[in-house]
Amino acid sequence: MPRAILHVDLDAFYASVEQRDRPELRGKPVIVGGHPTRGVVVAASYEARPFGVRSAMPMAQAVRRAPQAIVVPPRFEAYVAASERVFAIFESVTPLVEPLSLDEAFLDVGGSVRLFGPPAEIARRIRGRIAAEVGLTASAGIAAVKFVAKIASDLAKPNGQLEVPADETVAFLAPLPVGRLWGVGPKTEAVLRALGLRTIGDIAATDPARLERRLGIAGRELWELSRGIDEREVVPDRQARSVGAEDTFEEDLSGMEALRPRIHSQALRVGRRLRRAGLRARAVQLKVKFGDFRLVTRRTTLEEPTDDGQTIYRAALGLLERLAPLQPVRLTGVAGQEVTAEAGQLGLFAAGPRPADRLNAALDRLADRFGRAAVTTADLAEADADEDPDRPRRP
């Protein structure tokens, strides 16, 4: 039986959260970003996109293209809160959920068909719940292959879904441009075009040995993808023996001041997820992907297992400071590794709950009752303001 893989992607996520929370913004062009004359666009609503506004565009250029657009500063804690509600919906359908960022994931729903119906019906159920419970729209792609499901969800946007039956995969891919394939950036696309290959169907019809001579092992991989051959599984955190959180930024970030609150937010999310699962982590890993797609990971072992987000943050921040990234960064991730359900070795005399444990329990109760943004830290509140010069600052 063919695999049943969904790629679910929230539509214009950051901008949609702003429109959800501020009804006066609905139906209007919205740009999420910094000051209108500096910084870059973090996200643009669908109403702003016909004017040519895109993420990572300089704000001054975006405002010139869409002078009637409403500019709002990012609120990252609000986006994290919405993301966690969406992922809870995913996990209610299948345990096989592979997060890609705050707003998208792969789901293997092959084992859920008996409970919830065909994959297309599962996708409709998920999208309906996201709309009803979180107030956002999502698009979904359904396929037997991960990257085909991703392409399908892109083509279904906004607020739609597209299913590609397994036996129609090659025909579906054939007319698409080569840039749709995983691993094809501007340089590889130029090589393929020099070979006369402009569509995925052109690659599928080519002798793979020819591609290998020009591109090495990557040439064989592209040929296999063009034929719908991709055995990569959906890999949830639990299979990796770690609990993590990572984000791909809408714009590359530079400097420690920009990166610290992102690492802090990720570490706090890891701590919450560990506590929710009754787990502790012995090691912390930091992942950094640069603007040129170079990936670096660093890891440290803690003195004792922890589920405390602040402890995880201090460890991750130490790794970041030693790395001292000088290039722009497009992704960061924090993970608790060597995960265990044991609370650690007990001392001779039993100790009561630590202050951090009591604080975390209280914060978890507040978050469960009033939402993620009910209590936050100063640096995350400042990150949410993101260059807004009119927002009052703490003394």
Distance CA 117, CA 355 (A): 47
Q: Are strands 138-143 and 161-163 parallel, antiparallel or unpaired?
A: parallel
C-alpha closest to that of 138 among 158, 162, 112, 165: 158
The one catalytic residue in 104, 221, 246, 251 is 104
Name, in order, each residue with C-beta under 8 angstroms of 99's C-beta and a sequence gap of 6 or more. Answer: 87, 105, 237, 246
Judged by phi (left if over 0) then psi (alpha if -120 to 50, else beta), residue 196 lies in left
Distance CA 135, CA 139 (A): 14
Distance CA 375, CA 268 (A): 12
Active site residue 382: no
Distance CA 228, CA 181 (A): 11
158 prior amide bond cis, ω within 30: yes
Q: Please, are residues 50 and 12 in contact by the beta-carbon 8 Å criterion?
A: no
Catalytic residues: 104
